[in-house]
């Protein structure tokens, strides 16, 4: 069985996650986020995976898509506007990311949740 993350590791990963979600429209590199945390890029990737069980970018993308899904379900905001809020300037790239996480396109998701 793997060791549990330490409180410091959890805090570091949570701080990195929160920072990325608070600045969803921006794109960050691992070296930038590691420097912000005061550790090496390799150490950041190891800690993040240890805490969340996924790579930093995979986890952030998943959470962004869940956030987008909530917006699609409860607002009339256009898909492209939600995409831009998530840091995508290209609707097709956003749709591909959304589909990979949610299993359907944003439009299909919106139609499905609104018909329920």
Task: State residue 2's pLDDT score.
Answer: 65
The mean pLDDT of the chain is 94
pLDDT at 82 over 70: yes
The domain containing residue 34 runs over which residues?
7-53
Residues 110 and 66 in one domain: yes
- The answer, as to whether pTM is greater than 0.85, is yes
CATH number for the domain spanning 71: value is 1.10.10.60
Evaluate whether 28 touches 35 at the Cβ level (below 8 Å): no
Residues 75 and 110 in one domain: yes
Task: State residue 1's pLDDT score.
Answer: 41
Token pair recorded at residue 22: 């608070």
Per residue in 25-76, pLDDT tens?
A: 999 999 999 999 999 999 999 999 999 999 999 999 999 999 999 999 999 9
> Which class for 48: exposed (0-12), middle (13-18), buried (19 or more C-beta within 10 A)?
buried
pLDDT band with cut points at 50, 70 and 90 for residue 114: confident
Token pair recorded at residue 40: 């090496």
Mean pLDDT for 9-24 is 97
Structural domains of the chain, count: 2
Mean pLDDT for 76-86 is 94
């Amino acid at each position: 069985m793997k060791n549990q993350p330490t409180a410091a590791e959890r805090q570091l990963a949570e701080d990195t996650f929160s920072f990325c979600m608070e600045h969803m429209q921006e794109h960050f590199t691992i070296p930038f986020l590691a420097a912000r945390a005061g550790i090496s890029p390799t150490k950041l990737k190891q800690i993040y995976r240890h805490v969340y069980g996924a790579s930093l970018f995979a986890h952030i993308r998943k959470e962004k898509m869940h956030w987008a899904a909530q917006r699609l379900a409860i607002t009339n905001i256009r898909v492209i506007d939600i995409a831009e809020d998530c840091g995508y300037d290209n609707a097709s790239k956003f749709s591909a990311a959304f589909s990979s996480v949610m299993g359907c396109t944003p439009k299909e998701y919106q139609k499905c949740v609104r018909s329920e």
